[in-house]
Amino acid sequence: MPDKTITIRATRFDPDKDQEPRLQSYEVPFFDESMVVLDALNHIKAHIDGSLSYRWSCRMGICGSCGMMVNGTPKLTCNAFLRDFWPRPVTVQPLNNFPVIRDLVIDMDDFMHKLKLIKPWIIRKQELPLGAGEHRQTNDQIDDFRQFSECINCMLCYSACPVYGLNNEFLGPAAIALARRYNLDSRDQGLKERLPHIADSEGIWECSFVGECSVVCPKGVDPAKAIQQTKLDTTMRFVLPYGNRE
Amino acid sequence: MPSTWWTRTRHYFLYMVREFTSLPLAIWLLWLLFDISRRSLVAPGAFAVFSVIALPFALYHSWTFLTLAGTIIHIKLLDRPVSSRLIVMSQFGLWIGASVLIAFLLTWLSK
């Protein structure tokens, strides 16, 4: 084992045995400056304790599977470098605001349910036949929604959102940002189908603009902006009867 | 969620400060409305002192509100999106303009 090591304190919780989650410390060799927290977890799993459970997949900030609390902040563990923490220990816990299934694995059913509600796909009133050609867009039309389309559903924003933590009926940052992504898309005609969920009291109006969702987003999406802009648009739809209703 | 969640990060704390600053402002307005309804100042000295206390809260709350307007408002002029910086500057400009106008009217009416 190399001289340089780092202490990883990971949450352990087995619902069949444990009453409460507990932290367990592991000494992990820190042999490469490019090592990330996920590498350390993989080392623990492969060489120290094979029973440690966590989600991961792509290791390059695309799949959104490896979100966890790293020293109290929601982060993608594949994008949290050990060099930023060493020589201090790194505490890895499951994402806040979600039920824990086991160790670092959270139950994401609530998020998946909310994601489905806002129908994050292009809705057309009438599908055109393939022979009619593409739905063309200008660069400006793409720029309208581009940043909201970067969301990878990692749920870090839900973990950072105290409103969701206090009331898990709240539709939440990522779902609303994705709804806005499709509502701003010039090819989409599904606003009326999404509106009942977005404009609901547990939708945009539950948000009090803490803004932490946008701070923790690893892809530079600004869900807080999406929510506030949707509030304004929804209000304008209400007060301007001949305004932008479609 | 523990009741101390807002002490977890600096951002949460600043959010709570932002929300809290509306409280002295609301109390000041209620006091003013009460005095207006009675057509007299109940405790002019105390109201003056409280006004001085409430002023920094009101200024901070207004500053945060107007700064956030750049995030919220999205408008296009001649098919080009107006930058959030320009929106924020125009909000502050309107705020200062309105304050100067009200100060002028109050000074003029008190003569």
State pLDDT tens for residues B50-60: 999 999 999 99
Beta bridge partners of A7: A27
Residue A187 has pLDDT above 90, yes or no: yes
Residue B10, domain member (yes or no): yes
Q: Give tens-digit pLDDT for B4-16.
A: 999 999 999 999 9
Residue A223: closest C-alpha in chain B: B71
Cα A39 to the center of its chain, rounded Å? 21
Report chain A residues whose CB lies below 8 A from the CB of B11: 210-212, 215
Residue B89, domain member (yes or no): no
Q: Give the total number of structural domains in chain A.
A: 2
Residue A243 has pLDDT above 80, yes or no: no
Which CATH number fits the domain that encloses residue A117?
A: 1.10.1060.10
Residue A60 has pLDDT above 80, yes or no: yes
Residue A244 has pLDDT above 60, yes or no: no
Residue A244, domain member (yes or no): no
Between CA A120 and CA A226 the distance in angstroms is 14
Contact present, A214 and A224 (Cβ < 8 Å) = yes
pLDDT of residue A1: 56
Domain limits at A196? 109-239
User: Strands A5-12 and A90-93: what pairing?
Assistant: parallel
Domain limits at B49? 1-53
Q: Is A244 on the interface with B (CB under 8 A)?
A: no
* A140 and A210 inside one domain: yes
Beta bridge partners of A93: A69
Residue B18, domain member (yes or no): yes
Tell the burial category of B95 from Cβ atoms under 10 Å away from its Cβ (0-12, 13-18, 19+).
middle
Q: Give tens-digit pLDDT for B62-80.
A: 999 899 888 888 888 887 8
Selecting from B12, B71, B79 the residue whose C-beta is nearest the C-beta of A228 gives B71
Residue A241 has pLDDT above 80, yes or no: no
Report chain A residues whose CB lies below 8 A from the CB of B74: 229, 232
Query: Collapsing DSSP states into helix, strand and coil, what is residue A166?
Result: helix
Report chain A residues whose CB lies below 8 A from the CB of B5: 162, 165
Average pLDDT over residues A225-233: 94
Q: Give tens-digit pLDDT for B7-41.
A: 999 999 999 999 999 999 999 999 999 999 998 88
Q: Give the total number of structural domains in chain B.
A: 1
